[in-house]
Structure 1
Amino acid sequence: MRYMATYDLMESMRNTNQWLGASALSFASYPLFSMVPNPALQWLAAWGEVTERTFQRMVAKPDWGIRTFTCEDGKDHLVNIETVVERPFGNLLHFNVAGREEQPRKVLLVAPMSGHYATLLRSTVKSLIVDNEVYITDWHNARDISVSEGKFDVEDYTLYLVDFMKEMGPDTHVIAVCQPAPLALAATAYLAEEEPDAQPRTLTLIGGPIDPDATPTDVTDFGNRVTMGQLEEMMIQRVGFKYKGVGRMVYPGLLQLASFISMNADRHSEAFQNQIARVMREEASEHDAHNRFYDEYLAVMDMTAEFYLSTVERIFKEREIARNVFTVAGKRVDIGKITNVAVKTVEGANDDISAPGQCVAALDLCTGLPDSMKASHVEPGAGHYGIFAGKSWRNNIRPLVLEFMNANSPAPAKKKPANKNAAAR
């Protein structure tokens, strides 16, 4: 019970700020006040509207918002989001475009479990759905998972990826974005030794910390400075009575959001001040640039304590992936066993979270792969977000990734022409 009060205190603070925003908006929008226009009341109403929305979004899972897709026939086809594999801590989803022929490439997007929902990759999904069958890992909010479901750490995460890859089959192209890159590499190596026929065709690692010490950043420096005891004492709390996961030890999403914002506090403060001014001038809208970004950015989820702590200890501090000594259920996973899965790394030149050098380290670990099946790319001027979303991804990185997939896929079988004389026989 020690940390329940702290967890509920944070939720109470969020709830109070949401209520204050709603109250300010309601008070300043009172119809009688319109008889005597006052800029102070207009500002209060704008502040209330922005504040209420901001704190409300922190506990709401964003919608995918991918409902239709225009195919080559010029018609809009419904996109059905289907659950292929359902598990307690995460599902495998398929974006099935109704009425469209099955696409030749199957792509598994491994979404990060680092505080945000898989919907953070919405634009990535939209760009790939054009000419691919797209699947994605949809990780669940730990506060909504009953304690009876047990633990979930980096080894469990790796085994989830193994199961998802086995479900999709050997013709899969895997793209791991950020946090899951080292574990996706480990899952591929696990399959290479245990079930080689289930390995994917290609593995693309985007901005992931394969070797965090290759190019240190503020994130890796923090992990090295703080002891595991300090980390557990400062960051881990117990889910309160309001949620299904009551009693589960977690790294709260609200706590991580506070860390995110503190890294660029001035930029976020300016963004919200500007948004309040736009609301005052009636220049803001439901889906303007500010709301589109912050509706996603502010929507955070809790991680299980064991996953967060094991990630810091084993991936960052002990560098088990970088040293090729990572184990799953007591068995070492040898990355050198990967011999026929083409591996590509993508990094952003201006990435301040997973700096250039951290991800490309994966290629040196793949000692069983010929150089012809390895590739790397550093995107000039791109930050962490830009390498999987935005202009850099759409214009430069996506075409390179698809080209890499095609180069490492078997040529499609040619259809035999129909025998026009068959009916005459």
Structure 2
Amino acid sequence: MRYMATYDLMESLRNANQWFGATALSLSSYPMFSMIPNPGLQWMAAWGEVTERTFQRMVVKPDWGIRTFVCPDGKDHLVNIEHVVERPFGDLIHFNVVGRKPNPRKVLLVAPMSGHYATLLRSTVKSLLVDCEVYITDWHNARDIPVSEGKFDVEDYTLYLVDFMKELGPDTHVIAVCQPAPLTLAATAYLAEQDPEAQPRSLTLIGGPIDPDAAATDVTDFGDRVTMGQLAETAIQRVGFKYKGVGRMVYPGLLQLASFMSMNSDRHSKAFQDQIMRVMRGEAGDHDPHNRFYDEYLAVMDMTAEFYLSTVERVFKNREIAKNEFVVDGHKIDIGAITTVAVKTVEGEKDDISAPGQCIAALDLCTGLPDEKKASHVEPGAGHYGIFAGSSWRNNIRPLVIEFIDANSDAPARATPGKPAAKKAKTKKPANKNAAA
């Protein structure tokens, strides 16, 4: 599988399906056919429109679509997307609301690198802009990064987060969504040991696999079944000649998308069948619920092979974070070194990707953190997507996170000459369940 020809073949199949859709739409929409109304031609046109759009969006990075924001003065203010830090594999960007005074709540939103672009968190960003100054990690598509830029694995990812936190300063509140939760916890612990003054005020972990073995899901079962050799042989390919990253070993976004779709194949199949019928009846639109969701869901990016394989091996198989044995740049991180950063975990009761129990494990690892700085919340009836972008996030979780941020916005007490810092907690107590602070 690790050949450019395989990557190019996969891209050719995607391109061919897009062409089939466009051809069907053009042929069935030929003006002369309108003289003889035919349901078969109408269905063919609808199928072609949906098929072309489906395969076209797979290789296009979605736009943020956040252009204006209504401030308390009742006026629309422009939103400028500013690049604060630019790196080969990812940038730190800021959503600057022009004309609005800087909000005292400074939030770093750590987006997942798991096949989708950071724009997957668009609705999360919009909801936080109301009360916060929002920054986010914007990871790049590996197929567009030249081989000359070198490798990028879980250790590099963690060090990127360390640098981003240093750039924003200690008055930052970090929110990590899904995949980056364990690495963000590790980055915070790294700062606690290496540069305590740069630690953020609080850390909120949403639906992340801190301890994958705490609750089994299809994702963890797959990680247990497949060997690293099998993954390397079947999932890794070289970027083809069409892109700047030609020759780079990657886990292709199209393969990741196929695995996403297979987990709920019946539901996705029905969604597309229903959309074809809606298009046929003239009831669909560019921004209808189906297109809003799938424009984002189907837009996928490649991950570097070393990042994908090291994530599976070190986070899922060896559970280095869960065992507090994670090593970054030769330094063994001690998560117990976190003593001042308030930590909150958020889980969804019906999360089938990071099931309840996986994320809250972070609180037991923070042995040096007092109980009053720990909190957890399990959202009843919520799935994985809902805990950071759905109605559960907007109506229930977001207010709790804002309350948690406000409760932990003051600078923590630091050790001063003649007055030692607080000692580590000697006993481990259960975290406050379903609490905001």
TM-score by length of 1: 0.96
Unaligned runs of 5+ in 1: 412-425
Show the 5 A alignment for 1:60-75.
Answer: 60-75=60-75
Q: Is the 8 A contact 2:2 2:233 kept in 1?
A: no
**What is the Cα deviation at residue 315 of structure 1?**
0.1
* Alpha-carbon separation, structure 1, partners of 2:396 and 2:276: 35
Tell me the equivalent position of 1:152: 152
Q: Is the 8 A contact 2:61 2:299 kept in 1?
A: yes
Spell out structure 1 runs of 4+ moving beyond 2 A: none
Tell me the equivalent position of 1:422: none
* Alpha-carbon separation, structure 1, partners of 2:20 and 2:115: 26
Show the 5 A alignment for 1:252-331.
Answer: 252-331=252-331
User: What SS does the corresponding residue of 2:124 show, helix, strand or coil?
Assistant: helix
Q: Is the 8 A contact 2:147 2:245 kept in 1?
A: yes
Q: Check 1:180–1:2 CA distance in 2 against 1; reply closer, same or farther (3 A cut).
A: closer
**What is the Cα deviation at residue 3 of structure 1?**
1.3
* Alpha-carbon separation, structure 1, partners of 2:356 and 2:280: 42
**What is the Cα deviation at residue 2 of structure 1?**
4.8
**What is the Cα deviation at residue 131 of structure 1?**
1.4
Tell me the equivalent position of 1:401: 401
Tell me the equivalent position of 1:42: 42
* Alpha-carbon separation, structure 2, partners of 1:92 and 1:2: 31
* Alpha-carbon separation, structure 2, partners of 1:216 and 1:38: 51
Q: Is the 8 A contact 2:177 2:208 kept in 1?
A: yes
* Alpha-carbon separation, structure 1, partners of 2:356 and 2:189: 23
Tell me the amino acid that sits aligned with residue 175 of structure 1.
I
Number of paired residues?
A: 411
CA deviation profile, 1:267-322 (whole Å, cap 9, x unmatched): 11100000000000000001000000000000000000000000000000000000
User: What SS does the corresponding residue of 1:163 show, helix, strand or coil?
Assistant: helix
Tell me the equivalent position of 1:235: 235
Q: Is the 8 A contact 2:108 2:135 kept in 1?
A: yes
Q: Is the 8 A contact 2:254 2:300 kept in 1?
A: yes
* Alpha-carbon separation, structure 1, partners of 2:291 and 2:100: 32
For the pair 1:175 / 2:165, whether they are aligned, the reply is no
RMSD over aligned Cα atoms: 0.8
* Alpha-carbon separation, structure 2, partners of 1:410 and 1:51: 53
For the pair 1:132 / 2:132, whether they are aligned, the reply is yes
User: What SS does the corresponding residue of 2:204 show, helix, strand or coil?
Assistant: strand
Tell me the equivalent position of 1:420: none
Tell me the equivalent position of 2:346: 346
Tell me the equivalent position of 2:222: 222
Q: Is the 8 A contact 2:252 2:302 kept in 1?
A: yes
* Alpha-carbon separation, structure 1, partners of 2:282 and 2:409: 52
Q: Check 1:373–1:2 CA distance in 2 against 1; reply closer, same or farther (3 A cut).
A: closer
* Alpha-carbon separation, structure 1, partners of 2:341 and 2:349: 26
**What is the Cα deviation at residue 410 of structure 1?**
2.1
User: What SS does the corresponding residue of 1:83 show, helix, strand or coil?
Assistant: strand
* Alpha-carbon separation, structure 1, partners of 2:198 and 2:9: 47
Unaligned runs of 5+ in 2: 412-437
Q: What is the aligned-residue identity percentage?
A: 84
Show the 5 A alignment for 1:72-111.
Answer: 72-111=72-111
User: What SS does the corresponding residue of 2:78 show, helix, strand or coil?
Assistant: strand
* Alpha-carbon separation, structure 1, partners of 2:312 and 2:3: 21
User: What SS does the corresponding residue of 2:193 show, helix, strand or coil?
Assistant: helix
Tell me the equivalent position of 1:55: 55
Q: Is the 8 A contact 2:80 2:98 kept in 1?
A: yes
Tell me the equivalent position of 1:390: 390
**What is the Cα deviation at residue 33 of structure 1?**
0.3
TM-score by length of 2: 0.93
* Alpha-carbon separation, structure 1, partners of 2:3 and 2:261: 23
Q: Is the 8 A contact 2:107 2:134 kept in 1?
A: yes
